[in-house]
Amino acid sequence: MIGGEENFMKIGIYIATQARHDFPKDPAYKPLLVGKIDNDSGIELNDSAGDSISEKNKFYCELTGHYWIWKNDQISDIVGLCHYRRFFWLKDIPFRLCEKSFKTLAECENFLSTENLEKFMRDYEIILPRAYAFSADTVKSQFIKYHGEENFRLMFDAIKKLFPNYIESFEEVFDRRYVHLANLIIARREIFDAYSEWLFKILSEIESKADLTDKKNLRLPGYLGERLLNVYVYHNKLKLKEVPQIFISGENNPPRKDLYINLRYIKRKYFPAVLDFEQKLRKKKPL
């Protein structure tokens, strides 16, 4: 319910997966099989149904699920995408923590619930996981290091061709030392739709020119989507709520090391909450 007792908002948060796992019991969360999977998992929703790009999953990763949500969920007012191992977390923890690891979902308390979402979406347009910060790289240099300068140029050229008014924002975002990753997103419907149309136009343009048969480009559209989301949010000045994410390692695997933001490498003008956090922290101990 948002905006009054008579104004109920339908919420659909989809969990991209390729098998049955331990999923949240909250009714807003809906497991979605991605990658043209046909198995006996008992999961009802499959991204190969309806308007779909499921056959491109090995390139687009969880974004085939994102595409399916955009094209096929016609009833949700708030929509979002998580992974079977990654969820949004709501915990009173230091600002510097961006990812907390657990072996199982049962060990985790306070994942983002319907009640929390209704409260947040009164004041915000989009929810993203807290950003990762690089100690020695900008977003641009980190992308080129792992995905190549040619692919960076393809991304730049696609935006310049299709959305030239975004170039300045693109350059500013890629000059930062922090970035929201993993393609996790929860947004108001109109924001999600507008972003999806923008994103998949760009990815389609890049796909037509990139060599996806090259092993290093196998998941290229998925990696591009992670960075482009930052450009869209920044350019459109969306009201952003950041929350930590949790990573579920699995019962048979040790938990991953928790990930923290290094405040020294963040341009503070993009993170107003950092200043308030630092002032409180400075009273206890120096950074």
Each residue's pLDDT expressed in tens, for the chain with a length of 287 residues: 444 434 578 999 999 999 888 899 999 999 999 997 666 677 899 999 999 999 999 999 999 999 999 999 999 999 999 999 999 988 766 566 777 788 888 888 778 888 889 889 999 999 999 888 888 899 999 999 999 999 999 999 999 999 999 999 999 999 998 899 999 999 999 999 999 999 999 999 999 999 998 988 999 999 999 999 999 999 999 999 988 888 888 877 777 777 766 555 444 444 444 444 444 444 443 33
Q: Which two tokens stand for residue 3?
A: 């905006």
- Percent composition of the chain: helix, strand, coil (DSSP 3-state, to 5): 40, 20, 40
**Interior angle at CA 249, CA 248 and CA 255, nearest 5:** 105
Overall number of domains in the chain: 1
* Predicted pLDDT of residue 252: 77
* Residue 179, in any domain of the structure: yes
Looking only at the bridges linking them, the beta strands covering 259-260 and 97-102 are: antiparallel
Strand partners, 241: 127
Establish if 135 belongs to a structural domain: yes
Residues paired with 260 in a beta bridge = 97
SS3 83: strand
Closest CA to 91 of 75, 102, 81: 102
Sequence-ordered list of residues with C-beta below 8 angstroms from that of 164, at least 6 positions apart, any chain: none
Is 175 contained in some domain? yes
Residue 52: inside a domain: yes
pLDDT at 94: 58
Distance CA 194, CA 211 (A): 28
Question: Which residues, at least 6 apart from 283, have a Cβ–Cβ distance to it below 8 Å?
Answer: none
Token output for 30: 């809906």
pLDDT given for residue 95 in this prediction: 60
* Cα 57 off chain centre by: 16
Rg of the chain on CA atoms, in Å: 19
Whether residue 5 lies inside any domain: the answer is no
pTM of the complete model:
0.87
**Within a domain: 3:** no
Whole-number Å distance between alpha carbons of 6 and 285: 48
The position carrying tokens 């019962």 is 251
**Rounded to a whole number, what is the distance in angstroms from the first to the last CA of the chain?**
40
Give a yes or no: residue 6 inside a domain: no
Residue with tokens 């085939």: 64
With 0-12 / 13-18 / 19 or more C-beta atoms within 10 angstroms meaning exposed / middle / buried, residue 287 is: exposed
Inter-CA distances, 266 with 47, 143, 170, 221, Å: 37, 17, 17, 26
* Residue 31 dihedral angles phi and psi, to the nearest 5°: -60, 140
Report if residue 150 sits inside a domain: yes
- Range of the structural domain that residue 271 is part of: 11-282
- Helix or strand or coil: residue 88? strand
Distance between CA atoms of 263 and 274, rounded to whole angstroms?
A: 8
Q: Helix H segments across the chain?
A: 57-60, 63-72, 114-123, 139-147, 149-162, 167-174, 189-207, 220-235, 272-282
Report the alpha-carbon distance of residue 163 to residue 112 in Å, rounded: 34
Indicate the residue type of 243. V
